[in-house]
Amino acid sequence: MWRLLASVLFFSCLIVSSLSLGDSEVTCSGIVPLRYRNDKISITDYGGVGDGRTVNTKAFRAAIYRIQHLKRRGGTLLYIPPGVYLTESFNLTSHMTLYLAKGAVIKAVQDTRNWPLIDPLPSYGRGRELPGGRYMSFIHGDGLRDVVITGQNGTIDGQGEVWWNLWRSRTLKYTRPNLIEFKDSKDIIISNVIFQNSPFWNIHPVYCSEVVIHHVTILAPQDSPNTDGIDPDSSVNVCIEDSYISTGDDLVAIKSGWDQYGIAYGRPSSNITIRRITGSSPFAGIAIGSETSGGIKNIVAEHITLSNMGVGVNIKTNIGRGGYIKNIKISNVYVDTAKYGIKIAGDTGDHPDANYNPNALPVVKGIHIKNVWGVNVRKAGSIQGLKGSPFTGICLSEINLHGSLNTYRTWKCSDVIGTSLKVSPSPCSELRTTGGSNFCSSAF
Ligand SMILES: *[C@@H]1O[C@H](CO)[C@@H](O)[C@H](O)[C@H]1NC(C)=O
Ligand SMILES: *[C@@H]1O[C@H](CO)[C@@H](O)[C@H](O)[C@H]1NC(C)=O
Ligand SMILES: *[C@@H]1O[C@H](CO)[C@@H](O)[C@H](O)[C@H]1NC(C)=O
């Protein structure tokens, strides 16, 4: 009954807010202009065979070589017709569109032994999972400009199971490949594509700027290890909107490097918008961290609809990380069934090696979370800062996290300073209840 009433209330709020918006729905997707490409080629012109058995690596490499070296004005579109195109990993090039028709599937081979290795990211100092290099992402972009991956909801399939099993049996040699990585790239659009069964993180823009990811679907089993949806990492001006993500790890996680390597590299993630995301995961819906060493600031996440979650909103960092997490605004989050509604923690995640600096404490300051509605949430929240670096300016408003019978709906706090307004269940005393028009302004 409560759940029903809660949903009715929630949806009527949605209707009211969408009415007031009218047709001009707010969007950040315009930060990268969509370019029309006159020059079009098809993978079949380069020997591509979509029979699900032929290995098409040569076709992809030849087609992309042609785009790179024949430099057509306005760039070139590479068309993938319906069919299943098995291939090894490949590199994209600048000024191209990878276009997947309806029914087109680009599928990764399952040969993990001959998968190419690349250098670790300088902000991580080593592979995220294991020391040394890391396997190149299935589809890779390094130092590119003006790249679009789109179409009619064709599929990019990582066939990650073999990799998950290597992880499960602890027989991985190096860090697993991402499904897609863009590194040091600019003006990237990813839309209308289905990503499934990534070996590791799905979409990883790192050291990038002007990135738009919208109308994508990202799928991986709930028990698949580390299959994060979208991880903007040391990147600026990123727009993530209108997508459905259901994976085995965080749906969207903003990162910026790892301990002493991330501090030395010093590349923050900033001006990132996450809007109208729906999904489900045993980990977090909206996550920040735990790799936050280059700093993370000016983040907006809103209109997030989650079900069957580990944590709704999770901000996580650790000693040794240094850096900062500041000016974070998260609003209009609906969570149906979760272990935790909100969790902000200073003790999460591992270290790259023993040389991290235990005195490098992150600064967490100015986190505003408002309009969160949860039903069947087992624990409302926990906010645990660091003794030497308490989290400040934590401001919670209009938060209702409903439990069900036999659940602990209380908040747990330590080393945190902040304010709260209309939060139920009532928050811990560290979040002093206040009101007035300046409410939360001290957070920024
Ligand atoms: C931040 O991102 C928004 C879109 O989300 C964009 O309009 C704005 O120009 C960006 N700000 C800066 C300083 O680049
Ligand atoms: C793909 O890009 C990576 C990273 O830039 C590079 O190491 C590798 O040689 C490239 N592979 C091919 C086949 O061009
Ligand atoms: C593709 O899927 C997205 C997300 O479900 C949807 O919004 C979009 O309309 C679809 N696009 C096409 C071309 O079918």
Query: Domain residues for 72?
Result: 40-441
Q: What is the pLDDT of residues 104-136, one digit of tens each?
A: 999 999 999 999 999 999 999 999 999 999 999
Taking the model in full, what pTM does it have? 0.93
How, if at all, do strands 269-288 and 83-87 pair? unpaired
Is 190 part of any domain?
A: yes
Q: Output the CA angle 26-302-341, nearest 5 degrees.
A: 165
pLDDT, position 418: 94
The reply to whether ligand 1 has any atom less than 6 angstroms from the CB of 31 is: yes
- In the numeric block, the tokens 């990503």 are attached to 195
If you write DSSP's letter for every residue of 352-383 in order, what string do you get?
A: SSTT--TT-PPEEEEEEEEEEEEEEEEEEEEE
Ligand nearest to the CA of 144: 2
Is 18 part of any domain?
A: no
Q: What is the pLDDT of residues 13-51, one digit of tens each?
A: 444 444 444 456 899 999 999 989 999 999 999 999 999
Q: Is 249 a catalytic residue?
A: yes
Is 1 part of any domain?
A: no
Ligand 2: which residues within 6 Å by Cβ?
Answer: 91, 118, 136, 140, 142
Q: Which CATH number covers residue 394?
A: 2.160.20.10
pLDDT, position 405: 60
- Average pLDDT for the chain: 93
Hey, which bits of 109-250 come out as E strands? 117-118, 134-135, 139-142, 145-151, 154-157, 180-183, 186-191, 193-196, 203-206, 209-214, 217-219, 236-246
Distance of CA 220 to the CA centre of its chain: 14
Is 5 part of any domain?
A: no
Q: What is the pLDDT of residues 175-231, one digit of tens each?
A: 999 999 999 999 999 999 999 999 999 999 999 999 999 999 999 999 999 999 999
User: CA-to-CA distance for 142 and 119, rounded, in angstroms?
Assistant: 12
Instruction: Pick the catalytic residue from 146, 249, 259, 336.
Output: 249
Is 183 part of any domain?
A: yes
Report how many domains make up the chain. 1
pLDDT, position 410: 81
Is 28 part of any domain?
A: no
Q: Whose CA is nearest to atom 4 of ligand 3?
A: 215
Q: What is the pLDDT of residues 141-189, one digit of tens each?
A: 999 999 999 999 999 999 999 999 999 999 999 999 999 999 999 999 9
Is 21 part of any domain?
A: no
Q: What is the pLDDT of residues 296-343, one digit of tens each?
A: 999 999 999 999 999 999 999 999 999 999 999 999 999 999 999 999
pLDDT category, 376, cuts 50, 70, 90?
very high
**Centre of ligand 3 from the C-alpha of residue 192, in Å:** 5
Is 267 part of any domain?
A: yes
pLDDT, position 406: 57
